[in-house]
Structure 1
Amino acid sequence: MNTTASAQPVSGDRLTLDEGAIDAARKSLDDGALTPSYGPWRDDIVKLLNDALATELVCVLRYKRHYFTANGVSSPAIADEFLVHANEESAHADRIAERIVQLGGEPDFSPATLLARSHASYDESENLQAMVRANLVAERIAVETYRQMIVLIGDKDPTTRRMLEDILSDEEEHADELKDWLGH
């Protein structure tokens, strides 16, 4: 009985469910949504998500700093956009942390290791254009890391993949908005 397989085609024209995996789902009820079919990938997925969580938290901090310190002719509008992005990144972090818990993991909010685990950097630029540029770089990094995570996870965890695809869409929108601000 293969309890780590998902539904598999049995022949060229028939799809059947893995009855062994369904039977295994009747056991270990304390695991909630985490069934044996998550198999060996759960720990790797939780690690990827914790790194993404660190990235989102660093992005919140960077955007918040830029929001409060932006100055110049265009600064009110751009600062407002920094705050919108900070709040959206915070919502991403919340979604990621919730998914980590659903997978039976522990979300890592430790400030001591946050920057080391983040794919993006913190930035203390004082020039408005440098702030926009730093945030655009971070968004482009987020786009690339989420794209890679989506490919790595594939069909191993469709729920996480869909969440990451949704977050990726937001990150691409952020990058486009920031690119437009570079000309101001």
Structure 2
Amino acid sequence: MIVSTLSRPAEAGPLNLDNAALQQARQNLNDGAVTPTGSPWREDIVRLLNHALATELVCVLRYKRHHFTAHGLNSPAIAEEFREHADEEAAHADSLARRIVQLGGEPDFNPSRLLDSSHADYDEAVELKSMVRANLVAERIAIESYRQMIGLIGDKDPTTRRLLEDILRDEEEHADELAALLDN
């Protein structure tokens, strides 16, 4: 049996909920999940999420292009992998847009701003190995950007943090799959 030797600091009070905030949650019901005591970082979080949304949308477009233009002996299996990744990136974009709206923001789907807001690049490679490499680079950039966002958000918005952690897990899986394709 393990016995904890940690003790509560003398200045720490009991863990109590903020009853005033609970009462405020009864107000403005049309705001949905966003309560009046919403995060002072909401605008920053929405901005970060819109950059992630742009990244996911650019990734969808890149994967779709690669899916339809892949050719060569190994291309059917790799093209199918690209299609699956495109579908998963589209689902990520939907989740991010939904969260932006929940936070009272506006998801930015404006095509003229996507490349400027995206962390990843669009790619028009024609050779299969170059396609795989471009997608692996984009996944690695997405992984790093999600890691940084998770660190920045921390406990400021646990719901958004969990969403980003789920997406990060998928992006790491995509990168592993693409790296394995390069090894073949």
| TM-score computed with the length of structure 1 as normaliser | 0.92
SS at match of 2:121: coil
Question: Which SS does the other structure have where 2:23 is aligned?
Answer: helix
Query: Which residue is equivalent to 1:109?
Result: 109
Q: Could you say which residue in structure 2 is the equivalent of 1:15?
A: 15
Instruction: Note closer, same or farther for the CA distance 1:79–1:157 as it changes in structure 2 (3 Å cut).
Output: same
Equivalent residue number for residue 134 of structure 1: 134
Q: Distance in 2 between matches of 1:151 and 1:103?
A: 19
- Alpha-carbon contact 1:65-1:124 (below 8 Å) kept: yes
Structure 2 match to 1:4: none
Q: In 2, Cα distance between the equivalents of 1:102 and 1:51?
A: 16
CA RMSD of aligned residues (A): 1.5
Letter in 2 for 1:82: F
Equivalent pair of 1:10/1:16 in contact (CA under 8 Å): no
1:103 CA displacement = 0.6
- Give 5+ residue unaligned stretches, structure 2: 1-8
Paired with 2:168 and 2:63, the residues of 1 have a C-alpha distance of 18
Report the CA distance shift for 1:57/1:10 in structure 2 as closer, same or farther (over 3 A). Answer: farther
Unaligned stretches of 5+ in structure 1? 1-8
Preserved CA contact (<8 Å) 2:39 2:157: no
Distance 2:13 2:29 in 1: 34
Aligned-pair CA distance for 1:168: 0.3
Alignment of 1:35-184 (within 5 A): 35-184=35-184
The runs of at least 4 consecutive aligned structure 1 residues that moved more than 2 Å come to: 9-14, 36-39
Residue number in structure 2 paired with 1:3: none
Query: Is the CA contact 1:143–1:172 (under 8 Å) kept in the aligned structure 2?
Result: yes
Larger Rg: 2
TM score, norm. by length of structure 2: 0.92
